[in-house]
Structure 1
Amino acid sequence: MRILFVMDSFVPDTLGGAERVVLGWARELASRRHEVWVLAGRVNVPPGRDEEMEGFRVRRWSSRRRTFADGYISAIRACTAAGRKLLDEHPPDVIHGCQGLSGYGLSLAKPRAPWVYTLFAPWSEELAEEARIQGAGLSAFARTFNNLGVRLKRFRVRRMERRVLRGATATALSEFSRRMLQSEHGIRRAQVGIVPAGTDLDRFFYTSDVERQALRRQLNFREPVILCVRRLSPRVGLDLLIQALARIRNVVTDARLILAGRGPERAALERLARQQGLTDAVTFAGFVPEDQLPDYYQAADLFVLPMRSLEGFGMAAVESLACGTPVVGTPDGPTPEILRPLDEDMLAEGTSVDAIAQACIRWLAKPEEMLAVRRRCRDYAEQNYSWKKAGLALEALYERVTASARR
């Protein structure tokens, strides 16, 4: 079967959750002898030739801009043109759209193949959430204009998403995402299938206690270490985690927080750490290369996901579990679906600073229990989040979709 994934961007240009999931899907399906293509965008970089990547091929489209100011027109045109050419040269049996802008662009090329569309996060709601956070510091007058601009953007991008969904088989990564599709686009829950994501169980692997202690010495992890791997943006709740650390240290006095990632909120988070008297207890590790991420997961005592909203799937949490490191998460988004079947105590009781702190203390104050649960974390990841399991589910979905299109 020839399968075409459609993305706004892709690795190595972007290493977000959607890109990592599609990379895993494409790699697994290619290993199962399917012909897999990824059509992906980039900005201000020549598209270049088709790329061979781990058994599948990538074709890039490029635009000078990708902004609302021109209605995303230049990006849409570039995607449509590249997509039309790829459809002519290598007509797919099934198209799997994963992001709204590129999905809309390819839909204008009027492909004949049946569509699957997976909602990773609702584009229009992401815009609204970012605007809400940005508008908090504006005057009432400025906030009015900010909100007007957001409403225009949401109207535009919602129309694009709905065009892609029209006639497509709608899917989601979690029950939470399925509910978002229903509320955002009016698609009934029963019409939305769940497609599983996974993680690379060979790269994110379990280590013995001896190997783990060696890694801790190498990374200078002497104290109990809380790790969070996130983009430093307003909506992911890192400010709550820093404030929670101050309360955690009232009980676990030498606890330390490692924040791995880049983003626009770094200066504000550093300022918050100083205000909380945590300058020496919070380390901003910046971007951690992909080949070093497993070391951080394996060496940490606890991984924390203080999610506020709009997350389709908690990839970092699953990577941590695969390395044997327990996870504490807030009861928002898909996190309860990941953690509750493993251990109810991994879920904080709420999203407040105090709830996050208490959940972390439950684990950090009992290091013997944390060591005992490590093997269970790994086993759970193997049973539920392998790419093989995801590949089998996608194959079955594509067979149903293509068979239905032939009837």
Structure 2
Amino acid sequence: MKHILVFCEFITKDEIGGSGRVIEQYVDGLKNKGFKITIFTLLRKKGLPRYERLDENVYVVRYGYFYSLNILFTFLTIIDGIFRFIKAFLTSKVDLIIINQPYVGIVVYASLIGWFVPKIYFFYSPWCEEYLIDKRKRGVGYYLRKIIEKKVMNFCNKIVCCSEFMKNKIVSIHKIKKNIKVLHIGIDTNKFYPAENKIEIRKKLNLPENKFIIFTARRLVPRMGLENLLEAIGMLKKEFNNIFLVIAGSGWLEDKLKTLAKSLEIENYVRFVGKILDHSVFLLYYQSADVFVLPTRLLEGFGMVILEAMSCGIPVISTPVGGPVEVLKNFDDRLLCKNNKPYDIYERIRYFLINKDELQKIAEKSREFVIKNYSKEIFIEEFKKEIEKVL
């Protein structure tokens, strides 16, 4: 049985996020293909076990002290990761390492023994650009992240990314052109499915039963474009009194977004439901919606949430940023906004509010499109082929 070590910043059991859900998909899929998996992830909360068995052939090792961002604790986290990695390496044969972020890749790079094992880097988004968008200035932090990310990627035998958009980012930022494979992620369509009774679900979630519900799930940070979505709702409110926006997620921008909603006088049209950790609850919010909106302003690697929504039979409206363009242009390009500004989001939502019959037809085709093109099975089979090329 081949043994794979997966290095990642978090798993969905500890924290919700797009990369965590991708990792969960491929770990489960590869386990079912006969691989043994050990996940090395950061200890993000006090009290979590350092070692945990998730399944017959899936283990978790939590390392470091990531619940503190103190520089000393950051250094100690890397040292602890190296120690635990070497221990695992010496006690069990390691056939492949999959690195999911540059920060955790430092452990493999600095351990020295990691140089002698085949490696795949799973690229979601450029670390340095995420920093630049959040901080809005270049500095030591930007260049340090850029250097680390390039070294970790060059150190791997193959790079996998989720879209042509992200492949182009790798080439333009890091000047890496070789051994890059675009691999569209897939989802478990058995876990994301249409509602049998939308009204009953809305009652359960205490949502308006007869309003046009717009749902989005995002980290509450600037690049996600939530300010633009709120402004679009402010415009729509002047024409339609039956709209209601639900925002799932958490982040440092939350207070500013709530203040903006109040200044736009749409606080009665918006509900912030926070971070949803329970999959069954997350599913209900998808199923309750009439449309899902992805208002990303900058840097959308793929947008796994659009596949999850579509698998639930919910049409998706997206700004033309990054990976979602590659999905929606092959499905129905009417779902793409012309730009990522508030008016463009307003215009697309307004169009479908007026033409609800068209939206219904799109909803009926959405799940079938995902099953045919973006199922978990397709993704795992393609990823397995790339792994076999490296082994």
Give, in angstroms, the shift of residue 235 of structure 1: 1.8
Partner Cα separation in structure 1 for residue 70 and residue 132 of structure 2? 14
2:225 to 220, 224, 237: 237
> CA offsets per residue over residues 18-37 of structure 1, 9 Å max, x none?
11100110001111221112
Correspondences of 1:28-67 after superposition (within 5 Å): 28-43=29-44, 45=46, 48-55=49-56, 56-63=58-65, 67=69
Give, in angstroms, the shift of residue 178 of structure 1: 0.6
> CA offsets per residue over residues 369-390 of structure 1, 9 Å max, x none?
2222222100111112211111
Q: Secondary structure of 1:91's partner?
A: coil
Who is 1:212 aligned against? 198
Correspondences of 1:59-208 after superposition (within 5 Å): 59-63=61-65, 67=69, 69-70=71-72, 72-109=74-111, 110-111=113-114, 112-132=116-136, 147=137, 150-168=138-156, 169-188=158-177, 191-208=179-196
Give, in angstroms, the shift of residue 330 of structure 1: 0.3
> CA offsets per residue over residues 108-128 of structure 1, 9 Å max, x none?
222221111011111111111
Gaps of 5+ in 2: none
> CA offsets per residue over residues 272-325 of structure 1, 9 Å max, x none?
111111111111122233221111111101100000112222011111011000
Matched, 1:336 2:337: no
After superposition, the Cα gap between the structure-2 partners of 1:65 and 1:283, relative to the gap in structure 1 and judged at 3 Å, is closer
Q: Secondary structure of 2:64's partner?
A: strand
Q: Which amino acid aligns with 2:119?
A: W
TM-score when scaled to structure 1? 0.89
Matched, 1:317 2:306: yes
Give, in angstroms, the shift of residue 38 of structure 1: 1.0
1:284 to 272, 287, 296: 272
Partner Cα separation in structure 2 for residue 316 and residue 292 of structure 1? 15
Who is 1:142 aligned against? none
Correspondences of 1:384-403 after superposition (within 5 Å): 384-402=373-391
Q: Which amino acid aligns with 1:2?
A: H
> CA offsets per residue over residues 208-238 of structure 1, 9 Å max, x none?
4xx2232234333321111111121222111
Partner Cα separation in structure 2 for residue 343 and residue 53 of structure 1? 39
Q: Secondary structure of 1:280's partner?
A: coil
Q: Secondary structure of 1:10's partner?
A: coil
After superposition, the Cα gap between the structure-2 partners of 1:235 and 1:244, relative to the gap in structure 1 and judged at 3 Å, is same
After superposition, the Cα gap between the structure-2 partners of 1:131 and 1:282, relative to the gap in structure 1 and judged at 3 Å, is same
Partner Cα separation in structure 1 for residue 279 and residue 248 of structure 2? 11
| Contact kept? 1:330, 1:348, Cα under 8 Å | yes
How many residue pairs were aligned? Answer: 383
Partner Cα separation in structure 2 for residue 253 and residue 34 of structure 1? 53
Partner Cα separation in structure 2 for residue 31 and residue 64 of structure 1? 31
Partner Cα separation in structure 1 for residue 184 and residue 139 of structure 2? 32
Gaps of 5+ in 1: 133-146, 403-407
> CA offsets per residue over residues 318-364 of structure 1, 9 Å max, x none?
11011000000000121101211111111000011110100111112
Query: Which stretch shows the higher mean deviation, 223-232 or 194-203?
Result: 194-203
